[in-house]
Amino acid sequence: DVVMTQSPLSLPVTLGQPASISCRSSQSLVHSNGNTYLNWFQQRPGQSPRRLIYKVSNRDSGVPDRFSGSGSGTDFTLKISRVEAEDVGVYYCMQGTHWPPWTFGQGTKVEIK
């Protein structure tokens, strides 16, 4: 299975400040069709996961533009340009290139300082 490694696992952030989460995969996530299936999910406390980003950098409908994804190959990053209170939760990266199975990172807990 492809191992997804996130860092940091805990991220205290001041409101209005930027935040960055790294995700590394044990294999390249470039699919044979040329696409890179790297996703980011947000899970607020007590809620189901919600997809924020797909194929590295595509924001889902309704996702604020303060969220951005970047990266290639095995190294990826989720950035929040200015953290707001509603951004508190756990963020997961997930690869959908290599099957089976699709695999998740361990999660990064974002909290307000």
| Least distance in angstroms from the C-beta of 15 to another protein | 25
Q: Is 55 in the site for another protein (CB under 8 A)?
A: yes
Under a CB-based contact definition with an 8 Å cutoff, are residues 42 and 22 in contact? no
Position among 21, 23, 25, 39 found at the interface with another protein (CB under 8 A): 39
Q: Which of residues 66-85 bind another protein (CB under 8 A)?
A: none
Closest among 93, 91, 86, 92 to 112, alpha carbons compared: 86
Give the whole-angstrom CA distance, residue 11 versus residue 5: 15
Beta bridge partners of 78: 21, 69
Determine if the peptide bond prior to 100 is cis (ω within 30°).
Answer: yes
Position among 79, 101, 111, 112 found at the interface with another protein (CB under 8 A): 101
Instruction: CB nearer to another protein: give 66 or 107.
Output: 107
Position among 2, 49, 57, 81 found at the interface with another protein (CB under 8 A): 49
Give the whole-angstrom CA distance, residue 68 versus residue 45: 21
Q: Is 91 in the site for another protein (CB under 8 A)?
A: no
Q: Is 31 in the site for another protein (CB under 8 A)?
A: yes
Amino acid (1-letter code) at residue 57: S
Q: Which residues bind another protein (CB under 8 A)?
A: 31, 35, 37, 39, 41, 48-51, 54-55, 60, 92, 94-97, 99-107
